[in-house]
């Protein structure tokens, strides 16, 4: 005979949004670092990047929808600097899931080119902490290199819309990305 008890709803304190974000960020960073280590050991980093970029394209509406509306050929021809600035700000808005809002320094768009500097990068800090704590055998910057492979990939959704990561410069505690409209 099976005895069924009535489930009890635990009396738990609601986790704050800040704590949820911090824990999710840590979990993502941990998962991403372990995935990177595994792909590096198996020699499949390039395939991982290809698959990730293809998945980004499949989910483009969810992640890049606001940008797609800005990127019409007429808008690009008439006001490329304005469109580029709006697109970068839309990306940075979404990017707050991985970065603190105070990390961004954005140049003025000139001749279809704009620069974004990440200062005191929280993502890099967490990547370094996880890589060290788990003795993964690499520094967190290597995961940044994978992000560079994503954003410079010819099939990345932003590249398909005409915004290309032209140059990436690593700095102590952050990085500088230069984007251009093509």
Total domains present in the chain? 1
User: What pLDDT shows up at residue 182?
Assistant: 83
- Exposure class string for 46-64: b at 16+ Cβ within 10 A, else e: eebbeebbeebeeebeeeb
Asked if residue 34 is part of any domain, the answer here is: yes
Asked if residue 102 is part of any domain, the answer here is: yes
The predicted model scores a pTM of: 0.82
Least confident of 10-24, 50-64, 143-157, 167-181: 50-64
User: What pLDDT shows up at residue 111?
Assistant: 92
pLDDT at 97 over 60: yes
Asked if residue 13 is part of any domain, the answer here is: no
What range defines the domain where residue 138 resides? 21-181
At residue 62 the predicted structure's pLDDT band, cuts being 50, 70 and 90, is: low
pLDDT at 19 over 80: yes
Asked if residue 8 is part of any domain, the answer here is: no
Asked if residue 14 is part of any domain, the answer here is: no
Cβ(110)–Cβ(81) below 8 Å:
yes
Q: Using only C-alpha atoms, what is the Rg of the chain?
A: 20
Asked if residue 51 is part of any domain, the answer here is: yes
List CB contacts of 40: < 8 A, sequence separation 6 or more: 138, 142
Per residue, the 3-state secondary structure of 150-170, as one string, reads HHCCCCCHHHHCCEEEEEEEE
């Amino acid at each position: 005979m099976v005895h069924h008890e009535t489930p009890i709803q635990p009396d738990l304190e609601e986790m704050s949004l800040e704590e949820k974000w911090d824990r999710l960020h840590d979990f993502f960073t941990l998962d991403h670092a372990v995935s990177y280590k595994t792909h590096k050991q198996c020699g499949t980093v390039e395939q991982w990047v290809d698959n990730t970029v293809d998945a980004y394209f499949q989910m483009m509406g969810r992640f890049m929808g606001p940008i797609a509306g800005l990127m019409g050929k007429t808008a690009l021809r008439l006001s490329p600097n304005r469109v580029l600035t709006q697109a970068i700000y839309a990306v940075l808005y979404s990017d707050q899931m991985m970065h603190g809002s105070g990390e961004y320094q954005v140049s003025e768009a000139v001749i279809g080119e704009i620069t974004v500097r990440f200062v005191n990068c929280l993502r890099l800090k967490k990547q370094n902490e996880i890589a060290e704590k788990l003795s993964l055998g690499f520094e967190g910057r290597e995961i940044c290199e994978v992000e560079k492979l994503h954003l410079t990939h010819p099939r990345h959704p932003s590249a398909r819309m005409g915004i290309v990561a032209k140059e990436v410069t690593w700095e102590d505690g952050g990085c500088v990305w230069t984007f251009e409209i093509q």
